[in-house]
Copies of this chain bind each other. A is one copy, B any other.
Amino acid sequence: MAPKYLILADGDFGPMTSKTANSVIRYQPDRVVAVLDRRLAGQVSGQVLGFGGNIPVVASVREGLALGATCVLVGIAPVGGRLPGAWRDWLLEALEGGCDIVSGLHSFLADDPVLAAAATKHQRTINDIRRPPPNLPVASGLAKAVDALVVLTVGTDCNVGKMTAQLQLVQELNAGGLRTRFVATGQTGIMIEGWGIAVDAVAADFIAGAAEWLVRKGAKDADIVLVEGQGSLNHPGYSGVTLGLMHGACPDAMILCHQASRRYIGDYREASWLRIPPLSEYVRMYEVIGSAVHPTRVIGIALNTYDLDDHAALAACEAATRETGLPCTDPVRFSAAPLLEAIISAHRAVR
């Protein structure tokens, strides 16, 4: 039986903050019974996010249990991924109330003695999505050899839509007759797809090895593999994850993802570390550094325009195409066709 989620996103539920919560609501709304955020209790997801309809926001675990929750999903992805202290009591209440726990935090909840004891006592499970599998390989370029076309999303920053772009494309490619697999590399993608590795949580020597393992597995009986990208090549904190993932996955093609209104890396978190350079500089940087291990090129741009009106969104896509010469769309808001065509054309070229 599919789980019924109570999503914990206290203090963080919003279009740009509760990334894991939002994606589960977007792609598996039938599984979500409530979101816990005391600030916004009484509202519904549609009001807060612009999607997710009448999924209620509640102020307590008790309300979530009353709505039929069978699993608590830790639905924020804070910097560093650690558990906010006050949440332990909620998780204990949920375990006592009969819920399992699914968590994407870096600090593994199953290793918390109090939570682990409570899970055992109440015969519930704690699933730490980010816990790496044992015995990962060091990458050695083996992903180059897969027959499938490998497409990686890359970005101008974190949280711009690298996973969402792939999820928007995978169904249409399959519907068009190309056997296409989505390969999840982060906690949210794993929750949605049911398998994957959170490459940001493996020991650094094994980032590329994890990506290589994932691509080779995803490529079995597939024509196209769509790999979820991570971070950005110029992100002060996460660029190592980005590059390890690139060099391990050996993409034949990349889709550059950007949030059209964003000006600084990290500014969605009020950090503003670095001004985001022009898209054409990213194209060059990703192609040069990616091709150092396996020849690759950027074949399209996916813009996230959620905070623009239709006119500004369309203008942003046109400007990106003018600057880079590449097809561009917002695959959530507009048709994904320009990116689908770019992928199909790249697939034809490698056959």
Chain A residues close to B by CB (< 8 Å): 79-81, 106, 137-141, 199-209, 233-245, 247-248, 266, 271, 273-274, 277, 285, 288-289, 292-293
Contacts and interface: CB of A to CB of B under 8 A. Distances in A.
Nearest to A293: B236
A266 B141 CA distance: 12
Given A239-B243, A247-B239, A289-B289, A273 B204 contact: no
Given A80-B138, A273-B140, A205 B289 contact: no
B204 A234 contact: no
Given A285-B288, A288-B288, A204 B199 contact: yes
Given A233-B292, A243-B243, A292-B233, A238 B141 contact: no
24 contacts: A80-B209, A106-B203, A138-B238, A139-B237, A140-B237, A140-B273, A141-B274, A199-B204, A200-B204, A201-B204, A201-B205, A202-B203, A202-B204, A204-B204, A204-B207, A204-B240, A209-B237, A234-B292, A236-B293, A237-B248, A239-B292, A240-B244, A242-B243, A288-B288
Contact of A205 (B200, B208, B248, B285): B200
A288 B285 CA distance: 8
Given A203-B201, A234-B293, A289-B289, A208 B239 contact: yes
A248 B236 contact: yes
B234 A208 contact: no
A202 B200 CA distance: 10
Given A139-B237, A234-B289, A240-B241, 13 more contacts: A80-B137, A80-B138, A80-B209, A138-B237, A140-B236, A200-B203, A201-B204, A233-B243, A233-B292, A234-B247, A239-B292, A240-B243, A289-B289
Contacts of A271: 140
Contacts of A239: 208, 243-244, 247, 292-293
Contacts of A106: 203, 205
Contacts of A241: 204-205, 207, 240, 244
A285 B293 contact: no
Contacts of A80: 137-138, 205-206, 209
Nearest to A289: B289
A235 B289 CA distance: 11
Nearest to A266: B140
Contact of A208 (B81, B240, B288, B292): B240
